[in-house]
């Protein structure tokens, strides 16, 4: 190397050193790494506001919205396209194509519709043979209908090219999606990293079928019989619990209770065996959807700090239901399905004793005819004191939530329950039995809580707290404080959505 070349090389090196030094002295530019959004797919048999028969739909609608609020997640939901989904929604659904779904020897058409709302993408799977019927459930071929739906979900993923990180299946109707993933689809490369989560909203309904139809109807090979077999039947909920990476239920207390035969409807050995992957996460409600300061169904709006409108709601409700207009008479309300586990036997046993005092009782709900008859008869025997409305009507339910003073939920078991949260938000103080989510959301007045509670499933314990609550009602200063506490309790998804996130992230580690 000549002297000049050596000199030039030296100079170049020196410049480079200076540049490097200057670079290190400067703030290192932040590395721009765009984390891909985590993909979550909810599989469920209903979702509010499109189609709702109970709390499940509300949870699907509001939890997906809460998760999608954060830009970290691409949240999608898939449900069947039922006939009962109203035209006002349908008209905006976009048909994106169709596929065929194999169920053993069957090969069924599956149309796919798409709709976006609150940052969530919804898919609706269409097949008129299965879903062009009134209502969602209760058909002799429900097993086949939801098998079609779940297998359709698996096909949907390929069709739209959306392979979620988390496939979150809810209740037995969606259990087969987890089963199909783990027995059939996970052998395909795109599906192999999908983690399955299963949530039990109510352990009472497990999806039980005869073992003979495992291959012929569900299209699952007998090789996998052990996964789904329980008590000599196919048990779809059991199958989903066995094959998901993680399962949860809708309150911490219920997560504990279902390990016990009293609550488990026979599934406690399976729950206990899989306990290591069980979590209990309390449901929330959508605080915008249930907001007494904006709810258009109310006679007058009000808020925790200005409750004047609540008195109007009470007066108008009494007027509408032909009850004497008495602002200082407490109204005890129930809005419930009329089924045994809602604790109606306790009510039957002592309601007439409670009615000896100055109070009014309003019941709204449908269900078993024996309870329907009982409450209709009670209303006939106590005119001006008891009103029973045997139907379900969302507008009326909001008028009752806002117009009543006390809300009774004496459930024998209650996975979570949303009504106690809605009532509290509307300033109607809850009286609950300490079970499942009722125990986790309502804390006793005596301990500075937001409602009234009793522990044992005993009618006289319930009567005792009803009377205690009515006593507090007549102490206006105490009552006002209690109503304020109830109305300002945080029932939003804020902390619970975070628990779901934690569960997902643990699985994706």
The CB-of-122 to ligand GLC minimum distance in angstroms stands at 19
User: Is 253 a binder of ligand GLC (CB under 6 A)?
Assistant: no
Question: Which range of residues in 61-69, 240-248, 373-381, 408-416 is near ligand GLC by CB under 6 A?
Answer: 408-416
Q: Which is nearer to ligand GLC, 300 or 501 (CB)?
A: 501
| Closest approach of ligand GLC to the CB of residue 201, in Å | 3
Q: How many separate helices (H) and strands (E) can be counted in the chain?
A: 21, 18
Told to check if 280 binds ligand GLC by CB under 6 A, we report no
Q: What is the 3-state secondary structure (H, E, C) of 312-348?
A: HHHHHHHHHCCCCCCCCCCEEEEECCECHHHCHHHHH
Check residue 447 and report its DSSP letter. G
46 is a contact residue toward ligand GLC (CB under 6 A)? no
Closest residue to ligand GLC using C-beta atoms: 55
* Distance from C-alpha of 131 to C-alpha of 145, rounded to nearest angstrom: 8
Q: 309 or 451, CB closer to ligand GLC?
A: 451
Check binding of 179 to ligand GLC (CB under 6 A). Answer: no
Applying CB under 6 A, the span of 10-18, 155-163, 342-350, 414-422 interacting with ligand GLC comes to 414-422
Contact 334, 408 (CB under 8 A): yes
> What binding mask, one character per residue, do residues 3-42 give for ligand GLC by CB under 6 A, x or -?
----------------------------------------
d(CA 414, CA 446): 23
Tell how far CA 122 is from the center of its chain: 16
Distance, in Å, from the CA atom of 228 to the CA atom of 217, rounded to the nearest integer, reads 14
Distance CA 17, CA 504 (A): 47
Of the two residues 51 and 472, which places its CB atom closer to ligand GLC in the complex?
51
Binding mask 51-80 for ligand GLC (x = CB under 6 A): ---xxx--x---------------------
Residue 117 to residue 121: CA distance in whole angstroms = 7
136 is an interface residue for ligand GLC by CB under 6 A: no
Contacts with ligand GLC in 100-129 (CB under 6 A)? Answer: none
Which residues are CB-neighbours of 229 under 8 A, at least 6 positions away?
211, 235
Count of residues binding ligand GLC (CB under 6 A)? 13
Please tell me whether residue 180 adopts helix, strand or coil conformation: helix
By DSSP bridging, strand 195-200 and strand 73-80 are unpaired
Q: Name residues contacting ligand GLC, limited to 417-476 (CB under 6 A).
A: 417-418
Q: How far is the CB of 283 from ligand GLC (least distance, A)?
A: 5
Task: List the structure tokens of 489.
Answer: 């309790």
252 sits near ligand GLC (criterion: CB under 6 A): no
Which member of 217, 323, 378, 416 binds ligand GLC (CB under 6 A)?
416
- For residues 57 and 51, is the Cβ–Cβ distance under 8 A? yes
Span from 294-302, 382-390, 416-424, 453-461 in contact with ligand GLC (CB under 6 A): 416-424
User: Among candidates 9, 38, 45, 15, which has minimal Cα distance to 149?
Assistant: 45
CB closer to ligand GLC out of 62 and 450? 62
Minimal distance, residue 247 CB to ligand GLC, in Å: 14
Q: Is 343 in the site for ligand GLC (CB under 6 A)?
A: no
Site membership for ligand GLC, residue 414 (CB under 6 A): yes
Q: Are 306 and 397 in contact (CB under 8 A)?
A: no
Q: Which string of x and - marks every residue 368-407 that binds ligand GLC (by CB under 6 A)?
A: ----------------------------------------
Residue closer to ligand GLC, measured from CB, 56 or 258: 56
CA distance 365 to 140: 25
Cβ atoms within 10 Å, residue 502:
12
Q: How far apart, in Å, are the Cα atoms of 256 and each of 259, 278, 405, 440?
A: 6, 9, 32, 12
Residues lying near ligand GLC in the complex (CB under 6 A): 54-56, 59, 201-202, 250, 283, 414-418
């Amino acid at each position: 190397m000549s002297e000049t070349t050596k000199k030039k090389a030296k100079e170049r090196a020196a410049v480079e050193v200076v540049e490097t030094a200057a670079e290190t002295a400067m703030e290192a530019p932040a590395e721009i790494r765009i984390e891909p959004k985590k993909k979550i797919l909810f599989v469920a048999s209903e979702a509010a506001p499109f189609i709702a028969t109970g709390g499940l739909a509300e949870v699907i609608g509001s939890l997906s919205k809460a998760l999608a609020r954060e830009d970290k997640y691409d949240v999608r939901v898939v449900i069947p396209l039922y006939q009962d989904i109203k035209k006002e929604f349908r008209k905006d659904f976009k048909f994106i194509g169709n596929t065929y779904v194999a169920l053993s020897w069957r090969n069924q058409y599956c149309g796919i519709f798409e709709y976006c709302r609150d940052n969530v993408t919804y898919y609706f799977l269409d097949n008129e043979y299965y879903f062009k019927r009134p209502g969602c459930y209760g058909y002799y071929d429900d097993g086949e209908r939801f098998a079609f739906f779940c297998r359709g979900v698996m096909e949907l993923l390929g069709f739209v090219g959306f392979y979620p990180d988390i496939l979150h299946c809810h209740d037995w109707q969606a259990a087969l999606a987890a089963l199909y993933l783990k027995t059939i689809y996970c052998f395909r490369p795109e599906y192999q990293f999908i983690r399955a989560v299963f949530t039990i909203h109510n352990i009472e309904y497990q999806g039980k079928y005869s073992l003979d139809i495992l291959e012929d109807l569900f299209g699952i090979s007998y090789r996998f019989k052990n996964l789904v077999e329980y008590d000599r039947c196919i048990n779809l909920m059991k199958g989903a619990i066995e094959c998901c990476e993680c399962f949860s239920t809708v309150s911490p207390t219920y997560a504990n209770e279902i390990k016990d035969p009293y609550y488990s409807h026979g599934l406690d050995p399976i729950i206990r065996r899989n306990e290591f992957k069980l979590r209990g996460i309390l449901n929330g409600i959508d605080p915008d959807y249930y907001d007494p300061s904006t709810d258009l169904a109310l006679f007058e709006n009000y808020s925790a700090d200005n409750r004047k409108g609540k008195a109007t709601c009470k007066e108008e409700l009494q007027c509408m239901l032909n009850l004497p207009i008495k602002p200082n008479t407490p109204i005890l309300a129930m809005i419930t399905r009329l089924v045994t586990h809602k604790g109606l036997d306790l009510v039957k046993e002592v309601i007439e004793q409670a009615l000896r005092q100055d109070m009014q009782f309003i019941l709204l709900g449908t269900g078993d005819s024996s309870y329907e008859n009982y409450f209709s008869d009670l209303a006939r025997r106590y005119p001006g004191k008891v009103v029973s409305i045997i139907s379900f009507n969302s507008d009326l339910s909001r008028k009752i939530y806002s117009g009543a003073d006390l809300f009774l939920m004496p459930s024998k078991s209650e996975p979570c329950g949303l009504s106690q949260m809605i009532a509290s938000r509307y300033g109607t103080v809850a009286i609950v039995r300490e079970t499942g989510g009722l125990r986790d959301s309502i804390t006793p007045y005596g301990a500075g809580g937001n409602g009234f509670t009793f522990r044992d499933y005993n009618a006289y314990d319930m009567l005792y707290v009803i009377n205690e609550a009515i006593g507090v009602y007549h102490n206006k200063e105490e009552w006002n404080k209690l109503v304020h506490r109830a109305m300002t309790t945080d029932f939003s998804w804020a902390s619970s959505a975070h628990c779901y996130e934690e569960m997902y992230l643990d699985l994706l580690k």
